[in-house]
């Protein structure tokens, strides 16, 4: 059944999340179908030929396109307000594809220094191997961006807020500078989610997600997505994905579609709980350097609140006693699980210096504020009094 995607753009956000891009098979099922198929059959050899030479628009192979995956891509397109989207097998596949599809030897990438461990690996180690020059800047300092983007650049990559240090990038200002330098701006919007922040509205060109985080939000599967203009998706990204193959499984696409239906509700509760926990932590003498974008004490609170409609689900802080103190705190938690995932219904905590950012040198970690005392708490959907009580007992222990 054909759908009018342009008409659906006028639906309210919640309607787009629940119903956007839903197609139904001949069986008229209520729920989105899982098209668990790698390939498709043709009526004739002629039809196969036309499908490959572009005369006929249809599904030919699930590495290229799949009906369930396409529902996810189109629904996310509607939610983000983008022109187009491609889904990937994981968030890292999305990050890598968004950069590798447009960069070549001799090009220059400018990235903020505070990045998720694997994003940092791609920018600092992998891309330079292919002759791409990468310059890192302190993403919070607009003068550093002005300096770095006073020369031509091909692309800019930022995370805002960053994982795990919750640094905020002035997206509007950086996008304006990038435009003058001729650079395509890619924003990793995982921490903000499409509910809280719309990078395209600030001038970004490409938005990437790890759908593993809030979009699934229930710890079930990996997934990712890249959104941008029709031209970028069609000309740069799609050929890269078709021929390198980091395709999302139709089953995972279906799980993520279910996740999108409740994303708005879940993110609102995540943020409500996180703010309450951040306020409770403000009262604790054992906590040092508490970071939450929704608190006025966050060094970039005003900017964060100008770009995001709430503070997000992650609270970061330092506990007294260095690594031993942080480990003692984590080990004494009874309800909150130690895990490196985030955006889950279950509250999860991790020690970035020894897990997600273990690969960095102590100096590189220090530059982005990841000390041995630093912990990252992804606040879940549990009863918030139970969470604050768990944190309080673990701090006392």
Ligand X SMILES: *Cc1c(COP(=O)(O)O)cnc(C)c1O
Residues found near ligand X in the complex (CB under 6 A) = 90-92, 95, 116, 118-119, 159, 163, 188, 190, 210, 212-213, 222, 224
In the complex with ligand X, the residue whose CB is nearer, 91 or 293, is: 91
Q: Which residues contact 302 (CB under 8 A, 6 or more apart)?
A: none
Q: Which residue has the tokens 């279906």?
A: 254
Smallest separation, CB 285 to ligand X (Å): 30
Neighbour-count burial for 205-229, b at 16+ CB within 10 Å, e otherwise: bbbbbbbbbbbbbbbebbbbbbbbb
d(C-alpha 133, C-alpha 131), whole Å: 6
> What is the distance between the alpha carbons of residues 338 and 294, in angstroms, rounded to a whole number?
24
Supply 139's token pair.
Answer: 């993403």
Of the two residues 102 and 112, which places its CB atom closer to ligand X in the complex?
112
User: Which of 151, 100, 90 has its CA nearest to residue 123?
Assistant: 100
Q: How far apart are the first and last CA of the chain?
A: 60
Tokens 């604050």 correspond to 388
| Distance separating alpha carbons of residues 328 and 202, to the nearest angstrom | 42
Kindly tell me which of 119 and 127 has the beta carbon lying closer to ligand X: 119
| CA 318, 320, 323, 324 torsion-angle sign | negative
For ligand X, the closer of residues 118 and 347 by Cβ is: 118
Smallest gap from residue 343 Cβ to ligand X (A): 8
Shortest distance in whole angstroms from residue 284 CB to ligand X: 26
**Closer CB to ligand X, 119 or 241, in the complex:** 119
Residue closer to ligand X by CB (options 70, 159) is 159
The 8-class DSSP code of residue 201 comes to G
């Amino acid at each position: 059944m054909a759908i009018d995607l342009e008409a659906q753009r006028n639906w309210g956000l919640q309607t787009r999340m629940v119903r956007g891009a839903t197609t139904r098979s001949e069986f008229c099922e209520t729920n989105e179908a899982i098209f668990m198929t790698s390939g498709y059959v043709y009526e004739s050899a002629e039809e196969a030929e036309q499908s490959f030479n572009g005369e006929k628009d249809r599904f030919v192979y699930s590495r290229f396109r799949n009906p369930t995956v396409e529902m996810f891509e189109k629904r996310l397109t509607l939610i983000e307000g983008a022109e187009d989207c491609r889904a990937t097998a994981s968030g890292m596949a999305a990050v890598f594809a968004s950069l590798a599809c447009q960069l070549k030897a001799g090009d220059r990438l400018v990235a903020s220094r505070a990045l998720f461990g694997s994003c940092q690996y791609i920018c600092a180690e992998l891309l330079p191997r292919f002759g791409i020059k990468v310059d890192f800047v302190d993403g919070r300092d607009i003068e550093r961006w002005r300096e770095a983007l006073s020369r031509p650049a091909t692309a800019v990559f930022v995370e805002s807020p960053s994982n795990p240090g919750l640094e905020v990038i002035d997206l509007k200002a950086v996008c304006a500078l990038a435009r003058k330098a001729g650079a395509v701006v890619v924003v990793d919007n995982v921490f903000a989610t499409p509910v809280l922040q719309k990078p395209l509205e600030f001038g970004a060109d490409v938005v990437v997600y790890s759908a593993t985080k809030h979009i699934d939000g229930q710890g079930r599967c990996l997934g990712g997505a890249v959104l941008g203009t029709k031209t970028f998706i069609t000309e740069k990204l799609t050929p890269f994905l078709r021929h390198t193959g980091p395709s999302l499984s139709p089953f995972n696409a279906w799980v993520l579609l279910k996740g999108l239906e409740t994303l708005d509700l879940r993110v609102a509760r995540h943020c409500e709980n996180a703010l309450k926990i951040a306020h409770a932590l403000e009262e604790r003498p054992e906590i040092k350097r508490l970071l939450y974008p929704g608190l006025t004490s966050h060094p970039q609170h005003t900017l964060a609140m100008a770009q995001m409609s709430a503070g997000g689900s992650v609270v970061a802080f330092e506990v007294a006693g260095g690594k031993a103190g942080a480990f003692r705190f984590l080990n004494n938690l009874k309800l909150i699980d130690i895990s490196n995932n985030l955006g889950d219904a279950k509250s999860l905590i991790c020690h970035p210096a020894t897990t997600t950012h273990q690969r960095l040198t102590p100096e590189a970690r220090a530059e982005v504020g990841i000390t041995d005392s630093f912990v990252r708490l992804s606040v879940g959907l549990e009863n918030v009094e139970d969470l604050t009580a768990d944190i309080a007992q673990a701090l006392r222990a």
